[in-house]
Amino acid sequence: MHKKVIIIGGGIIGLCSAYYLQKEGHKVTVIDQGNMNAGASHVNAGYITPSHIISLAAPGMITKGIKWMFNTESPFYVKPRIDLDFMKWAWAFKKSATKAKVEKAIKPILDINLFSRELYEDLKLSSDFNFHYERKGLLMAYKTDKVGEEEWHVGKRAIKEGLNVKNLTKAEVTQLEPNANLDIKGAVYFDSDAHMTPSNFISQMVAYLKGKDVTFYTNEEVTSFEQNNNSISKITTNKQSFITDEVVIATGSWSQDLAKKLALNIPVQAGKGYRINHKSKTGISIPTILCEAKVAVTPMEGFTRFAGTMEIGGINHNINPVRVNAITKAAKAYYPNIKITEEEKQQADCGLRPCSPDGLPYIGKPSKYNNLTIATGHAMMGWSLGPATGKLVTEIISNQKPSLHLEAYNPDRKF
């Protein structure tokens, strides 16, 4: 049965949902509060990350967070504030940051990443697109033995899950990256990962969807929902109203506030990340995370992107020059030949990543509504998990058997 589906949110999750829904014959409308040309879906590192099996809510993160709060250049910063939603989220994060819960989350995190990588490769091979996509793996580059041991511990755990991981010396890294001139002790290499140029994919996806009669309304904010028993029958924005059969909330860091209009609690905190685009040639060919600095480096189409920091401080797009400088310093420390210009620093941008307390996304129907699907909370893996989430959303709405077990992503789960 073909349905009228309204997707609220035009980022990578909303667009991928629209793609698979229209493939199933549904009539899709996308509503976005902005122009769909900015935010986390545009400024991310472009990683597809089966390597990232450890959730953000890992043991020791709270201790590190407290320590880093006193360092203005720290890669992870939590701004203390008197906000009930934040305090509830922080408490749920604390309860999730246990060895047992992190271990339990490994398989659902890996499964959805591998599924999404498969779907990206299907999209790349299709005649619908011609976007930049390369599978060259990921280097976790480190400068100290201590961090090297920590990264290899994760690497060995990933090997148990079937991934191909190697612990490389500096000389072995140089063989892989002969022109990058990395100043490191070594790196843990995952051959499972891939990378893309986000703006390249987004522009092609929007153009494709418009050509398939998907309707877009930008600069419209959803203000209210009309309910009938356990269903949403009408959505009202600041400009108009829509009658619908199904609703998808894919609004990233804004999801919790929007869900409140439906008396739902979807705990999400915005984690701000920054990016700098470097236009000069770097010799970098393999995506690399600079471990001590928590900076991601991606060779994109025509430039190299340096992205980093996790700033949990509410919804805002203020550019903190201290954070930008920290990314610049990290680039110089690991790549002595690279010089990021003042102009490139001035053009730095940021995006807000929706962080759930346990590091797992919310994908599924809350029990309170029979025609609402939640698709948010992907944190730093939003880009990686776009196609998998869109496919799962489509299977849910189309009453098909989901490709993955959905229990771990249940939007009704308790913390």
> Given this model, what pLDDT does residue 72 score?
65
With a CB cutoff of 8 Å and minimum separation 6, the contacts of 165 are 51, 155, 156, 158, 159, 188, 189, 190, 191
- CA separation (Å) from 239 to 31, 221, 222, 234? 11, 8, 9, 14
pLDDT at residue 76 in the model: 76
C-alpha radius of gyration, the chain, whole number: 21
Whole-angstrom Cα distance, residue 170 to residue 183? 8
pTM (predicted TM-score): 0.96
pLDDT level of residue 67 (50, 70, 90 thresholds): low
Q: What would the two tokens of residue 196 be?
A: 């893309």
Place of tokens 């309204």: 6
| 3-state SS class at 300 | strand
Specify the range with the lowest mean pLDDT, choosing from 10-14, 30-34, 68-72, 348-352. Answer: 68-72
Bridge-based pairing state of the strands 349-355 and 269-278:
antiparallel
| pLDDT tops 70 at residue 315 | yes
Res. 140 pLDDT band, cuts 50 70 90:
very high
* Cβ atoms 152, 188 nearer than 8 A: yes
pLDDT of residue 51: 98
The predicted structure's pLDDT at residue 47? 98
What are the extents of the domains in the chain?
A: 4-409
Query: Which pair of structure tokens corresponds to residue 97?
Result: 């940051």
Q: What's the whole-number mean pLDDT along residues 388-410?
A: 98
pLDDT band, residue 63 (cuts 50/70/90): low
pLDDT band per the 50, 70, 90 thresholds, residue 62 = low
> What is the pLDDT at residue 364?
98
- What CATH fold (topology level) applies to the domain 4-409? FAD/NAD(P)-binding domain (3.50.50)
d(CA 87, CA 273): 21
Q: Where residue 70 falls among pLDDT bands split at 50, 70, 90?
A: low
Q: Please compute the mean of the pLDDT values over residues 58-84 and round it to a whole number.
A: 73
Alpha-carbon distance 20 to 7, whole Å? 12
CB distance 44 to 15 below 8 Å:
no
Structure tokens, 394: 């489509």
pLDDT digits (tens, 9 = 90+) for 82-115: 889 999 998 999 899 999 999 999 999 999 999 9
Cβ-based neighbours of 52, under 8 Å, separated by 6 or more: 109, 113, 380, 381, 384
What contacts 219, CB < 8 A, 6 or more positions away? 32, 33, 34, 35
Q: What is the reported pLDDT for 80?
A: 75
Digit-coded pLDDT (tens) for 276-288 = 999 999 999 999 9
| 208, 127 Cβ separation under 8 angstroms | no
* pLDDT > 70: percent of the chain: 97
Q: What angle do CA 242, 247, 248 make, to 5 degrees?
A: 130
**Cα distances (Å, whole numbers) of residue 206 to 12, 17, 19, 368:** 10, 12, 9, 32
Which pair of structure tokens corresponds to residue 143?
């400068």
